[in-house]
Structure 1
Amino acid sequence: MRQLSRGGRRKNDRIDAAAAACVAVLHRDARSVDPEGPTDILALLDERRTNMSNSRTRLVNQLHALLRQLFAGGAPTSLTAGSATTLLRGFRARSGVDRTRVGLCRDLIADIRRLDDQLAANEKQMAHTLDEHGTRLWEVDGIGAVTAARLIGRTGCASRFPTAAAYADYNGSAPVQIASADTDRRGFSRHGDRQLNSALYTVAMVQTRMPASAGRAYYDKKIDEGKTLAAARRTLKRHLSDHLWRIMLADEKRRYRLNQADSASAA
């Protein structure tokens, strides 16, 4: 059902959004709009970090290509600004073309250093915002400031997902059924928020490398049950999705109670 524009002006996205909101209110299934806060800050910081990381990768690739042209043996693939500077320190350009390449390399190194500083500042701001948020995601093995910021920022309001299964479907960790004439099995989904899915995968992989973690115990249990390594990792990722959603939901309820208490005391 859709409420159409009343005319008088051309329809646009804002008019469509207002119409959809009116219909939702009439059907009593509208959701309240929460004021912006730390969750929105984390989403902005995560998006900014993604853009900076992509830019840094592009700069490093350009630097590596230039260094391969300067050095007969090539350059290491795991380049940093410091290692590239050390590599250039003993190089003597013998032509105008090589001098241009060296100058471009130095420009790229300066750009990489600048991005490294900005990424460090971005992570520091994430950690400060997470402290304000008061999340318990810090307590989960394999989750640092960057991963926690992505999980919270891209999840948004955890209570908008009615069940853990709905959240798993949103982040793409819910398995999908793959059926054909002779097989009927479950595989991984390529749908959902891929950035959020990537964060879950990172946590799962870190935990499988930590012998004392709860995630490694769960992973080993699935292996003992006969699952393949890939299937055990997918199962662990879905298990983490449920666990992290419950933590974020509990954090949200706790913040709500604290805000209610502060409002009551202020009154």
Structure 2
Amino acid sequence: MILLGVDPHKSTHTATAVDPVSNQQTGSLRIEATLTEYRRLLTWARRWPQRTWVVENANGLGRHLAQWLVARGESVADVPPSATSRIRRLTRGGGRKNDRIDAAAAATAYVHGDGREVEAEGHTTALALLDERRVNLAQARVRTVNQLHAVLRDLLPGGAPPQLSADQAAALLRTVRPAGDVEQVRKHLARDLVTEIRALDKRLAENAAHMEELVGSSGSTLTNTPGVGPVLAARLVGRVGRASRFATAAAFANYTGAAPIEIASADKARHRLSRSGDRQLNSVLHTIAIVQIRMPNSPGHSYYQRKLSEGKTPREAKRCLKRRLADHVWRVMIADERRSKHQPSQAT
């Protein structure tokens, strides 16, 4: 078995072959970051039939190479830059550093247990990409609607209603009879903006449909939770990835910022809202909580009312519900993950 440590950079990658038993380097190759050079690297590595690639920062600069190798059946592991830095300081001293040494340090870090297997991209990555695209489309729509409102304020007395659809804006524009070049230009710009909004609405609808399809094919049961539709389920799956990377529900709640922070001094103790964690996931939990509070027959509504009866303020009761929802989401995703391992044919 040979370990092929890789030190990736934006334009070049350096690979160093290391014998894990003797920790001796048996070869090194530096390539340009191109597909032709990737193939040359793989050809060079085939001299060692039993090999494992150890890529430093396989979720960063080394992501493309790592996924390219995984797609071709190679065994690939990821080690964090902090681990290779520690190995380099211990074995070479703080003064020596080059790409070949860094690549070897990555392989040595893997021997010491700092690496983790790189998995092939699947539905999780696809949903993360769709979620990012949806955020960008939604932001573009907000900007376009704001521009339309600004134009309509100068075309209509009092402007347009705050909640304005593309069809409503088009209907308003049909009532405008421009007088002069300035008003004609404003009406023309408003029509262009309405066209853009309609195009964005169509893309958002297509995005949601694609999310629903992928969430269904992934085997996720998150949509069985009241308040969780395909879009929110896609964001949860895309941003969380493997739920099993969190050892406990408490660890997951802390990651999402749903776990309150204790503030204690002497005999006084209180809890405040956490401002850390993944704010996008925190926003999803907040949305689910709000929806369930408004659904009389939902578990969240009953829990929220119970907390109010215990003397909690509405804000405190909502925080408690978000914490409870974080536990629920983690358990559902863990169950989905275990089920998919027993039924790999349902995974995408």
> TM-score w.r.t. structure 1 length?
0.89
Could you tell which deviates more after superposition, 171-180 or 92-101? 171-180
> What SS does the corresponding residue of 1:135 show, helix, strand or coil?
coil
Q: Offset at 1:20? A: 5.4
Equivalent in the alignment of 1:131: 216
Pairing partner for 2:141 from 32, 50, 56: 56
1-side partners of 2:123 and 2:208: how far apart? 14
Q: Offset at 1:189? A: 0.8
2-side partners of 1:20 and 1:96: how far apart? 67
Equivalent in the alignment of 2:184: 99
Equivalent in the alignment of 1:216: 301
Pairing partner for 2:239 from 140, 154, 158: 154
Aligned partner letter, 2:197: I
Aligned partner letter, 1:206: V
Equivalent in the alignment of 2:115: 30
Equivalent in the alignment of 2:64: none
Could you tell which deviates more after superposition, 176-185 or 149-158? 176-185
| 2:93 is aligned with 1:40 | no
- Consecutive unaligned residues of structure 2, counting only runs of 5 or more, are 1-82
Judging changes above 3 Å, is the alpha-carbon distance between structure 1 residues 70 and 20 closer, same or farther for their aligned structure 2 residues? Answer: farther
Judging changes above 3 Å, is the alpha-carbon distance between structure 1 residues 192 and 8 closer, same or farther for their aligned structure 2 residues? Answer: closer
| 2:341 is aligned with 1:256 | yes
Equivalent in the alignment of 1:3: 87
Judging changes above 3 Å, is the alpha-carbon distance between structure 1 residues 8 and 205 closer, same or farther for their aligned structure 2 residues? Answer: closer
Kindly provide the CA deviation profile for residues 203-226 of structure 1, in whole angstroms up to 9, marking residues without a partner as x.
Answer: 000000001001111111111111
8 Å CA contact 2:219–2:346 kept in 1: the answer is no
2-side partners of 1:250 and 1:75: how far apart? 49
Judging changes above 3 Å, is the alpha-carbon distance between structure 1 residues 54 and 72 closer, same or farther for their aligned structure 2 residues? Answer: same
Kindly provide the CA deviation profile for residues 187-212 of structure 1, in whole angstroms up to 9, marking residues without a partner as x.
Answer: 11111111110001000000000010
Judging changes above 3 Å, is the alpha-carbon distance between structure 1 residues 226 and 44 closer, same or farther for their aligned structure 2 residues? Answer: same
Aligned partner letter, 2:340: R
8 Å CA contact 2:217–2:346 kept in 1: the answer is no
Judging changes above 3 Å, is the alpha-carbon distance between structure 1 residues 32 and 64 closer, same or farther for their aligned structure 2 residues? Answer: same
Could you tell which deviates more after superposition, 204-213 or 217-226? 217-226
Kindly provide the CA deviation profile for residues 146-178 of structure 1, in whole angstroms up to 9, marking residues without a partner as x.
Answer: 110011111111111111111111111010123
Judging changes above 3 Å, is the alpha-carbon distance between structure 1 residues 104 and 261 closer, same or farther for their aligned structure 2 residues? Answer: closer
Q: Offset at 1:32? A: 2.2
Q: Offset at 1:107? A: 0.7
Aligned partner letter, 1:135: S
> What SS does the corresponding residue of 1:177 show, helix, strand or coil?
strand
Higher strand share goes to which structure?
2
> TM-score w.r.t. structure 2 length?
0.69
Kindly provide the CA deviation profile for residues 213-258 of structure 1, in whole angstroms up to 9, marking residues without a partner as x.
Answer: 0111111111111111100000000100011011001101111111
Kindly provide the CA deviation profile for residues 20-74 of structure 1, in whole angstroms up to 9, marking residues without a partner as x.
Answer: 5752x23325332222111111110000000000000000000001101111221
Which runs of structure 1 show a deviation greater than 6 angstroms over 4 or more consecutive aligned residues? none
Pairing partner for 1:81 from 145, 166, 169: 166
Kindly provide the CA deviation profile for residues 110-147 of structure 1, in whole angstroms up to 9, marking residues without a partner as x.
Answer: 11100000000000000000111011111100010111
Equivalent in the alignment of 1:265: none
Higher helix share goes to which structure?
1
1-side partners of 2:112 and 2:301: how far apart? 46
- Consecutive unaligned residues of structure 1, counting only runs of 5 or more, are 263-267
Equivalent in the alignment of 1:141: 226
